[in-house]
Structure formats: C-alpha cells, structure tokens
Amino acid sequence: MKVGDAAPTFTAPDREGKSISLQDFPDRSIVLYFYPKDNTPGCTTEAIDFTAKLAEFQAVNTQVIGISPDSIASHGKFIDKHNLKIILLSDPEHQIAESYGVWQLKKFMGKEYMGIVRSTFLIDPTGVISQIWSNVRVKNHVDTVLKLIVDN
C-alpha cells in the first residue's frame, strides 16, 4: 500500500458481532489502525490514547477504527476493561491485515512468526489513502495523527 492508493474495502465484526464496513462512513475520513493484541501494554496505551482524543477526531469529521486478529469476545473484554469508545474490529483470519500489507514476518527473541506490524492509515472521504504510518511507536502517535488531520 502507498499514499494515493484506494483503500481496500473490508467488512468485519465489532464487539457485538455487527458487521462494519469502510463504506459505512461516507463523507468522513477514517483513521484505520492495526494493532497486534488486546490487553498488551502498547496496544492498550494506543487504544486509550485514541479514546481520549476521540471527540477531537470526531470534531474534524474523522472516525477511528482499530483492527486486530483478536476475537469479538476479546475485544468486548478489552473495551469494557479500559472503557474504550473507539470501534474495534475482529480480523482473526487476518484477511484485512493482509490486504493492507501489515500481516508480515516478525522476529522476537530469536523466533520468527507472522503477525501484525503496528500501522495506521488515514483514509480520506473519497476512500483514498492519504497518509501511512508504519512500524508505529505508540508514544505521541495519536497526537501526531490528529495534528496532521487538523492542520490539513
């Protein structure tokens, strides 16, 4: 994926099992972020940070959606535990992650495995990717994304 590409369409279940699609948010920008796992330190911080700034994203006509391979039950517990207000979608077969190119070979403590590379995509109201952040470091990331949207 690169800036200027049409964002791959998707449909995935939210915490209640309701199907959510990219097309459900016409005339809005979308911050679509991929994260490895519910209730891990970095992923929790990122979700809490997006929730804390959600009203500011909404004020600039932007929807925040997080996607991980976790189950809808896991997402439900994660949302409840941390009082999250963002939409989290379940991608257990990692089809959406693959379509966005974020399902990749990773290395940790000498072992190789396939997993989500923490990434964020800004999708404009016409469905075009206008910004990509890859290998995201969580600290200050949400502020960086919001600033870019507000400044444009």
Query: Could you give the residue numbers annotated as active site?
Result: 43
Contact residues for 69 (Cβ-Cβ < 8 A; gap 6+): 36, 37, 90, 91, 92, 93, 94, 97, 116
Please state, in angstroms and rounded to a whole number, the distance separating the CA atoms of residues 148 and 48: 19
| 3-class SS of residue 147 | helix
